[in-house]
A and B are shown apart, each in its own frame.
Chain A
Amino acid sequence: GENVEQHPSTLSVQEGDSAVIKCTYSDSASNYFPWYKQELGKGPQLIIDIRSNVGEKKDQRIAVTLNKTAKHFSLHITETQPEDSAVYFCAASKGGGATNKLIFGTGTLLAVQP
């Protein structure tokens, strides 16, 4: 069945360093890959997404890369700040993009040390 693997499960970085979270997906028909940030007690918040016709997308300090051949995608956060501390989830869906169900990864707890 459809599956998304995410690594690492926890990541601790110093403020100002970069953080990288990696995901792999099993279904080659997947074509939409969002990343969500979940703060304590809140719902997942979309921070960036990428579609399969693009290899990389950047939004200020956040970037996502996609390798369709290898079926993996990564989130890159540069110049990390304490407020970046949260759980990050990758997800994948297929068949038309944002309107289809999301298959989530297991999450990465990012801790940015001041």
Chain B
Amino acid sequence: EPEVTQTPSHQVTQMGQEVILRCVPISNHLYFYWYRQILGQKVEFLVSFYNNEISEKSEIFDDQFSVERPDGSNFTLKIRSTKLEDSAMYFCASIPTATGAFFGQGTRLTVV
């Protein structure tokens, strides 16, 4: 069964450093999302991406965040200068046109 793949599974970084989280969505899907889940809290929407551009972003997704689909397969989330409060599980999701979102297994980001 096709699946969304995320790397790395765990990333530890120092405050102020840049991180790039990577995702390989399911190949025939058209819509891509990043969500995050702070420990013990609900899953929160960050950004949606369609047709090589951001279609919607949340208040969380400020200037420190960016997304790219550089080569037509990978979908990346970059945090330019990490803060302690960026520590969370980050989930990538992809969607075909008509069914529910398929989530990756997540990247646990720990900012120290």
Contacts and interface: CB of A to CB of B under 8 A. Distances in A.
A44 B91 contact: yes
Given A97-B98, A99-B31, A99-B95, A104 B103 contact: no
A61 to B, nearest CB: 19
Contact of B99 (A43, A44, A98, A100): A98
Q: For the side of the interface on B, what is the size category?
A: 20 to 34
A107 to B, nearest CB: 6
A101 B56 contact: yes
Contacts, number: 56
Interface residues of A, number: 22
Interface string B61-90: 000000000000000000000000000000
Contacts of B104: 43
Interface of B: 4, 6, 31, 33, 35, 41-45, 48, 50, 56, 58, 91, 95, 97-106
